[in-house]
Structure 1
C-alpha cells in the first residue's frame, strides 16, 4: 500500500534529508546520506551520469564527461538527488580533470565513509586527446 504524503515527509525528516522533495533550481555542494539498512552485507552501488560539466581552469571552455561512482557502503548511502545537485555545482567551476575526480571522491568518502569507493571520469576529447581518470579509496573486497 502506498504511503501518505505525511508518512513520506516524516521518513525524510527521520533521515535528516533536506533536499529530497524540494524544488531546487541551483546547484548545491551538500551530499546527503541515509542509513544503510544492510550494513552487514557487502554489496556494490553504481551511479552514472553522462551529463557532467566543468570548466577548463585556463580557457574557461566547458569540459564534458561521463562520471561513474562505484562504492561498497558502510553505515551510509549517498542520496541520489543530492548527488545530482552536487555534480551540477561543478558546471561553473574551473577544474582540471584529474583534480575534479579526486575532489568528488574525497567529498563522497567524507560524507559516507564507505568500505571502498571509486570515481571514474571519462572526459570528451578536446584537442584530439580524451582523458580518463580513476580515483579510488579503500579496498574492494
Structure 2
C-alpha cells in the first residue's frame, strides 16, 4: 500500500475485529481518483442484519447504496465493518437505514447519495426505507436499484 494517500487508513491490509456498535465503527475514506468526473458508485449489502429494539430478535434487509463522489470515496472494508456493527445493535428500520446514509454523507460529502433499505417482513409487513441527500445530478447514469417489492410466495 502506498505510504502517501493511504497512510491514514487504520483497517485495510490486516485483521480487524467487528466493531461493537455503529457508534464505535470507524468509517474511512480515500481520495477520489477521478475528481471532477461525475460517476455513480454502488454498494449492495443483501444480508444486512440488525436487532429489533423491542424484542431483540434479528431483522434482515437488502441495502443498496448509490453515490456520486466528490473528493472522497468510502474505503470499502470500513463500510463493511460499519454495516456489520449493526448485527448486535437494536434500532428500528428507519433509524438504521437513514443513519447509515447520513453517516456516509457526513464522511464523504458526496455530490449525491441515496440509500434504499429493503427490509424483510416483521410482523407480516415488509418495510422499505429510502433516503437521499438531494436530487440526482443531471448527466450521470444512476441505475434503478433493482430490488422488486416484497412478494413472499405469491
TM-score by length of 2: 0.81
The structure richer in strand per residue is 1
Q: Does 1:29 align with 2:25?
A: yes
Q: Deviations over 1:21-54 (max 9, x none)?
A: 1102322511110001211111000000112110
Q: Mind listing any 5+ residue stretches in structure 2 that lack a counterpart?
A: 138-154
The aligned counterpart of 2:47 is 51
Q: For 2:72 and 2:33, how far apart are their aligned partners in 1?
A: 9
SS in 1 for 2:133: strand
> Secondary structure at the residue paired with 2:86?
coil
Show CA shifts across 1:34-92 (max 9, x none).
00121111100000011211010111100011111100000100011000000011111
Query: Which residue is equivalent to 1:116?
Result: 112
Structure with greater proportional helix content: 1
State how far apart, in whole Å, the 1-side matches of 2:85 and 2:4 are: 27
How large is the RMSD of aligned CA atoms in angstroms?
1.4
TM-score normalised by the chain length of structure 1: 0.89
5 Å matches for 1:73-112?
73-112=69-108
Q: Is the 8 A contact 2:5 2:30 kept in 1?
A: no
Runs of 4+ in 1 over 3 A off after TM superposition: 11-14
Greater shift, 16-25 or 59-68, is seen at 16-25
Matched, 1:10 2:6: no
